[in-house]
Structure 1
Amino acid sequence: MTPPPATLPSAPLTVAAVQAEPVPGDVAGNAAAAARLVARAADAGARIAVLPELFLTAYHPPTLAADPAGTDVVAAGDRTVDDPRLAPLSAAAVAGGISVVIGAAVRHPDGRRTISSLVVDRRGNVRAGYDKQQLWGDERELFVPGTRGATLLVDGWRLGLGICYDGCFPEHGRAAAADGAHGYLCPSGYVVGSEHRRDLYYAARALDNTMYVVFANSVGGTDPWRFNGGAAVHDPEGRTLARGADTGEEVLVVTLDPAQLAATRAAHSMLLDRLPDQGPTRLSLLG
């Protein structure tokens, strides 16, 4: 794996990590709620907002299984999405001059169904930006995994895209860093009882790769799909700059600093020092 590009952003970037409770199956209503949250983030100065995994449908497998036609958004061959239910969200992006990353169930022209992050740009255009590669448990019964990573470019910042379980794999964050990512955006759906892992994985991905991590999560719902909030932004040393409560709606707005990114990477040069591999064989020892 080659070292990442040395170029760093020239200016800070203000981001928003969102936690909120969507309504199962109500794509239009959840898009309207997202538009309200995006406007709130833009009013606070954010240039990009990250909302939870499957926010447009809610992470509710029974609903996703019962009504795929009603819960999916359809992507064209070029991955563009034209769905009138998303009009309020596009309008909020245009009005606020803000980019949006939001979770959705996406149907592709070849029939594949993926857990994806939609990217809404500042012109209101919607694309299926990234398809989740690491599916968790019963997700495999409803969806197929994505086959490639993705990097979003915003104001000179390179932002790797992951979704929930992707971030549990060090290799996924490292692949983003190897592509030159300065940050890693992870819409997620962590349930009550998983707080320890929620708080550990994404801070670790930040430190592993000396990059910022923006983690969004749902709240509310009913067991076994009751979510625990804790949206957060971590700095390149894995320190938490902001964290939401375990309950309630929040929009966390944090400014990412290229000077801190540069200083961290100068002091902690893991990305440059890592070996191309750990050797062709391992030595077995007897104790």
Structure 2
Amino acid sequence: MTPPAPLPEHSLTVAAVQAEPVPGDVAGNAATAARLVDRAADAGARIAVLPELFLPAYHPPTLAADPTGTDVAAAEDDRVDDARLDPLRRAAWDGGTTVVVGAAVRHPDGRRTISSLVFDPSGTVRSAYDKQHVWGGERELFDAGRRGATLLVGDWRLGLGICYDGCFPEHGRAAAADGAHGYLCPSGYLAGSEHRRDLYYAARALDNTMYVVFANAVGGADPWRFNGGAAVYDPEGRPLARGADAGEEVLVATLEPGALAATRAAHTMLADRLPDQGLPRTALRG
């Protein structure tokens, strides 16, 4: 059995952002992100989550043609020092906001990853998590991440995932097993994927009785046109806030310890989970 994780004592207001970045324009997209983070902070959000690869834009032709211009460099301690990100750094500082935003990161050992940068309210920027499940043609451009990560904001533990990671129940469960109260997923879902977009992250919430914050890109030109639908899900998988399939939005919701506690008291999957998940198995002939 998984031991129960201590619950937070205080509520946490979060923002899930959907917006359209410009392919290859890291500085311009950082300025756009800063504007959206200002909106989130004005609405009371202490943490804002923006889409996958938002800083360079999720546009594989541009990411392939200009890796130097689209990547940011991480140091050995995972810190990122890039002047193009200064507007977003200032927005995090001014708003007292923790920002999670997608980037293409070049590591000291030469690896290139789809990553989440975390801007803390002091202005420090770190490459916090590298996407572990790379999808389709991403494998031609990026290396897979090697480990999970949990972000601490106040007394909340928030697991980090990126897009395709959320399609794997085990990924969200690993975050929950580490004590996560929520799961933050910058993503890039293409037009036509609305059913899966709306199913996966609600399921990860209910699977693990934790909040899920899902951010997604919008706009772009086919075949790289994205479908919005950013959302914050409660621990039973119900949307507290959901964006439209098009248009820029900053969706703000408050995560409540009482709702988390009540859901986990009523739905005890985390405590009741078997360590071997039904192994060994018996084969029956029909």
Could you tell me the TM-score, scaled by structure 1's length?
0.99
User: Partner of 1:43 in structure 2?
Assistant: 42
Equivalent position of 2:180 in the other structure: 181
Instruction: Please name the residue that 1:19 is paired with.
Output: 18
Other structure's SS at 1:119 match: strand
Q: Does 1:204 align with 2:203?
A: yes
- Residues 210-265 of structure 1, C-alpha deviation per residue, up to 9 Å, x if partnerless? 00000000000000100000000000001111100000000000000000000000
Task: Indicate the percent of aligned positions where both proteins have the same amino acid.
Answer: 81
In 2: Cα distance, 1:286 partner to 1:76 partner: 57
Task: Please name the residue that 1:87 is paired with.
Answer: 86
- Residues 25-64 of structure 1: matches in 2 within 5 Å? 25-64=24-63
Alignment of 1:201-280 (within 5 A): 201-280=200-279
| CA contact 1:79–1:128 (8 Å) conserved in 2 | yes
- Counterpart of 1:190 in structure 2 is 189
Q: What SS is found at the alignment partner of 1:31?
A: helix
Could you tell me whether the CA contact under 8 Å between 2:4 and 2:271 is conserved in 1?
no
Instruction: Give yes or no for the alignment of 1:73 onto 2:79.
Output: no
Size of the alignment, in residue pairs? 286
Question: 1:284 deviation in Å?
Answer: 1.3
1:285 counterpart residue number: 284
Give the Å deviation of 1:280.
3.7
Which structure 1 residue ranges, 5 or more long, are not aligned? none
Counterpart CA distance in 1 for 2:202 and 2:279 is 31
Moved over 2 A (4+): 278-281
How far 1:22 sits from its partner (Å)? 0.1
* Aligned amino acid, residue 213 of structure 1: V
**Residue matched to 1:114:** 113
Alpha-carbon distance change, 110 to 38 in structure 1, aligned in 2, over 3 angstroms: same
Question: How far has the Cα of 1:279 moved from its partner?
Answer: 4.1
TM-score w.r.t. length of structure 2: 0.99
Give SS of 1:59's match: coil
The one-letter amino acid paired with 1:85 is R
Deviation for aligned residue 1:98: 0.4
Determine if contact 2:132/2:144 at 8 Å carries over to the other structure: yes
**Secondary structure, in 3 states, of the residue corresponding to 1:254?**
strand
- Could you list the per-position Cα deviations for residues 62-116 of structure 1 after superposition, in whole angstroms to 9, with x for gaps in the alignment? 0000000000000000000000000000000000010000000000000000000
After superposition, give the CA deviation of every residue in 1:157-176 in whole Å (9 maximum; x if it has no partner). Answer: 00000000000000000000
Residue 278 of structure 1: how far off its partner (Å): 2.7
Structure 1 position 172 matched with structure 2 position 171: yes
Contact 1:93 1:123 in 2 (8 A): yes
Distance of 1:245 and 1:280 partners within structure 2: 43
